[in-house]
Structure 1
Amino acid sequence: MGKSLYDEFSVARNVFDEVDDILGRKLSHLIFNGPIEKLTITENAQPAIMAVSIATLRVMKHVFGESLYSVQYVCGHSVGEYTALCAAGALTLESAVKLLKVRSEAMHEASLKCKGGMFALLGAEISEVEGILKSAQIDCEIANDNGGGQVVVSGTAEALEVLPDLFKNSSVKKMIKLQVSGPFHSSFMKPADEKLLEFLKSINITRPSIPFVSNVTAKEESDPEIIRALLAKQVVSRVRWREMVLYMTSHGTNKFVEVGPNKVLSNLVKRIDQSINTKSIGSISDADNFFNESLMLTAKNLKIKSL
């Protein structure tokens, strides 16, 4: 992923080269060539997703400029928060990469202390899952409230083994084991939370130039010290994606643009509210299509106004 951006645009090459320099290794080679099994290891996946997303965003700015759109909010899902904060100028690319290096390593270490994982439960709403887990009193917690009948849970290996029986009479239609190395976004990540918070003390965070919506609070946060604390707290807290989307729509947002590889977040947004207009931009052709459509719409609106 990201290879065409690297080959065609110097602004993208600069991003991948800087990430490689900061990490002291050729992550870009792994991003472009795989193997996928190595790329999806959390220490590689976290900075890789952020690098491709920022490279895509910088190519968009380089080609199309920054004046066509006024962005109401930036946000991300889990590791995507670092991309969002970098895009809004609250974190430099260097700071984001260094933070993700510490974050991923700390999460990996915490995972080794707790043999566990994550399951996506499809078909049930958050309140039902909360009630069942509370009644069962097992070592399992809600990690992501993704909305649209999708809830992700984290737990120990023993707890996850009993989930099929636990939810057999519930609204859950399907259970999918996620290909992750640990029970992320849960209290099992407490050692990572502490390590990340300590490292965050050395990182400069400025006020975002675009309003930032947090995974932890599901609302706008602008105070750099609050953001600092929330970035650490995020690794032990559920991602409140459904609430985040509803917060933004309640404040007038009706179009969401996902920048980076895949279309996961666009699909999640659509599951929450079909009326929301979503676009995914993972390549320069996606960006071309997006801006061509936007220019046509702008021209149409100008014509209507002139009548």
Structure 2
Amino acid sequence: MTRAFTFPGQGSQVVGMGRELAESRPVAARVFEEVNDALGQDLRSVMFDGPQEELTLTHNAQPALMAVSIAVMRVLEEDFGVKLQDAAAYVAGHSLGEYSALTAAGALSLSDAAKLLRLRGEAMQRAVPVGEGAMAAILGLEMEAVEEVVKEAAQGDICTAANDNANGQIVISGHKAAVERAIPIAKEKGAMKGVLLPVSAPFHCALMQPAAEEMKAALAETTINAPAVPVIANVTAAPESDPVKIRDLLVEQVTGRVRWRESVLKMGELGVDTLVEAGAGKVLTGMVRRIDKSISGISLQTAEEIEAFAASLKN
């Protein structure tokens, strides 16, 4: 069996995430304390007690989701003696989850990851005035058809495929008017559904260039080590271990497409047969079944699930 650990992105956050793990496993509680210290904010109380509106704010959701993922990984390693490089051949994360993946693999420190994700969330929010951008999910069309849709809808505005999540599940991003034009065009081309998403900014498109510049400056000052196992990068859907290249790809990721479907297929080509999702929710585990039925998905959120997974490695 060849595994990869995967790490969820924005949208998986829910009030109460990480609480059970922190209450039952002191090593998990320490992760949340370290993130609080790095940010100078009691993010843990927002995660555990809400309100949901505050947790969903991009600059809170991003470091919070990373913290839950790393808490899972620390429990696995410190309480059950499972080292990442012994249990998996690759790591990958969806959008902000790429920072979680790099932290789990030792490329980024927990403190640096929290600070970078706080900045990333704030920078993305600053990049486009509220109301000028939008994102929409296009369901039931493949990428080739969606490329035609966004080209037709742009009409001088920015409109692009931002997240290639799974077969027939693609998210577009850009100027609000263009994204709104794209929905009826997509339906004309056979889409089952096109729906605007409740997001605060148009992520992963050229409108995020100001945020990319902020991240470039911050990442230039951040130590990045070679990861314990290669990371499958969002923007290339290919394995990467070179810290210099990883830094460049994290900058490119702000405006670039999240090639998640291609990333899962690439891991399959590389021999991975099991994806282990570490952190809040089961979004990525659900996507696996749509992308490649030969790859199985496991979700680790609770202490019980982590213990059972660790035990399975010994059998």
Contact 2:153 2:182 in 1 (8 A): no
Write the letter of the residue equivalent to 1:126.
M
Match status 1:221 vs 2:240 = yes
- Asked whether the equivalents of residues 127 and 209 of structure 2 are also in contact (C-alpha less than 8 Å), the reply is yes
Residue equivalent to 1:231: 250
Distance 1:4 1:290, change over 3 A: same
Matching residue within 181, 186, 208 for 1:162: 181
Q: CA deviation at 1:137?
A: 3.1
8 Å CA contact 2:138, 2:183 repeated in 1: no
**How many pairs does the alignment contain?**
296
Q: Report if aligned partners of 2:235, 2:256 keep a CA contact under 8 Å in 1.
A: yes
TM-score normalised by structure 1 residue count? 0.92
Percentage identity across paired residues of the two chains: 46
Deviation at residue 291 of structure 1 after TM alignment:
3.6
1:111/1:181 contact within 8 Å kept: no
1:292 and 1:267 mapped to 2: Cα distance?
A: 23
Q: Which residue of 2 aligns with 1:13?
A: 29
Change (3 A) 1:281 1:267: same
Q: Deviations over 1:154-203 (max 9, x none)?
A: 12221122233212222311123222101000001000000110111110
Contact 2:27 2:75 in 1 (8 A): yes
Rounded to whole Å, the distance in 2 between the matches of 1:91 and 1:151 is 29
1: CA distance, partners of 2:313 / 2:82 = 13
Query: Which position in structure 1 is the counterpart of 2:12?
Result: none
Which structure is richer in relative contact order (CA contacts within 8 A, separation 6 or more)? 2
1:1-307 correspondence to structure 2 within 5 Å: 1-66=17-82, 69-112=86-129, 115-138=132-155, 139-295=158-314, 298=315
Provide, for residues 1-33 of structure 1, a one-character-per-residue CA deviation record: whole Å limited to 9, x for no partner.
Answer: 111111122211111011111111100000000
**Unpaired segments ≥5 residues, structure 1:** 299-307
Query: How many angstroms does 1:292 deviate by?
Result: 4.3
Alpha-carbon distance between aligned partners in 1 of 2:282 and 2:130, rounded to the nearest angstrom: 32
1:61 Cα deviation (Å)? 1.6
For the 8 Å contact 2:69–2:100, the answer to whether it is kept is: yes
**Alpha-carbon spacing, 1:67–1:101, altered in 2? closer, same or farther (3 Å):** closer
Q: In structure 1, what residue type is equivalent to 2:34?
A: E
Q: Distance in 2 between matches of 1:28 and 1:111?
A: 28
The amino acid of 1:181's aligned partner reads S
> Which structure has the bigger radius of gyration?
1
SS at match of 1:6: helix
Which string of whole-angstrom CA distances, capped at 9 and with x for unpartnered residues, describes residues 16-63 of structure 1?
A: 011111111100000000111110010100000001110111112223
Q: Deviations over 1:218-266 (max 9, x none)?
A: 1011111111111111010000011111111101111100000000111
Q: Which residue of 2 aligns with 1:302?
A: none
Q: CA deviation at 1:293?
A: 4.5
Q: Secondary structure at the match of 1:109?
A: helix
Q: 3-state DSSP class of the match of 1:20?
A: helix
RMSD after superposition: 1.6
Supply the distance in 2 between the matched residues of 1:58 and 1:220 (Cα, whole angstroms).
23
Please give the alpha-carbon distance, in whole angstroms, between the structure 2 residues aligned to 1:113 and 1:186: 15
Task: Write out per-residue CA displacement over residues 249-291 of structure 1, whole angstroms, 9 at most, x where no aligned residue.
Answer: 1011111000000001111111101221110111112223334
CA contact (8 A) 1:114 1:188 kept: no
Q: Give the residue type in structure 1 aligned to 2:241.
A: S
